[in-house]
């Protein structure tokens, strides 16, 4: 038996999330189905994190144990030849037998994309949250710094979450404008609006935590809340004080570090 590390990208629009479900289409089940004729039996693909319905990944990582002797490069080509177009295996590496993509992960980085003001290009609508008015980016960035460090993020977790602890450590949190030149391929030359990217890196995240932080950051950018409100919300541990959850299509699991 051999343990493999798969780095995977997917467009989450038409998936009910990463984790296998009884009837809905998921990324995990889709990859496992494509491995079935290669392995001869169902292999369990373990993801570094469970993305929700509609959430994308540029660098999801998964581990799988196989008996099949197929070389890593040949396996990558075979999987990409059979996987649907909205999932791709970017790389496959041989690992030690104890490697587990979920438990071995040290840091995860998420990116949330916001199209501010203007008209969102149809080619980007599946990957951004369109906020119709201008946003105060400097104020949003000041608020983004509030969550850096180890905190109890109860105020930003999904209602009804069942976790041992809601304390998480955030290493980086920032909002930046994406340069126009880097997005003209998708948006076209007549760019009407501003693309913002919120990056957050941490050792772990609660369910809906990033999207709940983003919802609050956008309200701060709109002038409805302040960076001081972000601090008060965080310290309150009260989910009802934070803003509405940002929509899933703007979120992408950007990378996982080991």
Active-site residues, by number, are 52
Number of other residues whose CB lies within 10 A of the CB of residue 179 = 9
Structure tokens at 219: 């309200």
Task: List 87's β-bridge partners, or say none.
Answer: 10
- Summary count for the chain: helices (H), strands (E): 6, 10
Asked whether 197 and 110 are in contact (CB, 8 A), the reply is no
Distance (Å, rounded) from C-alpha 147 to C-alpha 140?
Answer: 12
Angle between helices 209-221 and 137-144 (to 10 degrees): 140
Binning the chain into helix, strand and coil, the percentages to the nearest 5 are: 30, 30, 40
């Amino acid at each position: 038996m051999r343990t493999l590390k798969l780095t995977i990208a997917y467009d989450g629009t038409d998936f009910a999330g990463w984790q296998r479900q009884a009837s809905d289409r998921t990324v995990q089940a889709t990859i496992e189905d494509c491995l079935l004729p290669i392995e001869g039996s169902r292999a369990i693909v373990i993801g570094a994190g469970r993305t929700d319905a509609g959430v994308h990944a540029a660098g999801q990582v998964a581990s799988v144990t196989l008996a099949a002797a197929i070389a890593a490069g040949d396996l990558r080509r075979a999987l990409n030849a059979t996987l649907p177009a909205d999932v791709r295996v970017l790389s496959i590496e041989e690992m030690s037998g104890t490697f587990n993509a979920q438990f071995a992960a040290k840091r995860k980085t998420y990116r949330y994309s916001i199209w501010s003001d203007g008209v969102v290009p149809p080619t980007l609508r599946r990957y951004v949250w369109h906020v119709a008015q201008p946003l105060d980016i400097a104020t949003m960035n000041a608020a983004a710094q509030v969550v850096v460090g180890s905190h109890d993020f109860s105020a930003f977790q999904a209602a009804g979450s069942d976790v041992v602890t809601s304390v998480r450590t955030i290493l980086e949190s920032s909002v930046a404008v994406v340069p126009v030149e880097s997005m003209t391929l998708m948006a076209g030359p007549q760019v009407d609006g501003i693309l913002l990217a919120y990056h957050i890196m941490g050792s772990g995240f609660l369910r809906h935590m990033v999207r709940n932080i983003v919802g609050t950051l956008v309200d701060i950018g709109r002038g409805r809340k302040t960076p001081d409100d972000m601090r008060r919300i965080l310290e309150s541990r009260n989910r009802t004080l934070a803003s509405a959850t940002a929509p899933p299509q703007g979120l992408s699991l950007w990378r996982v570090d080991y």
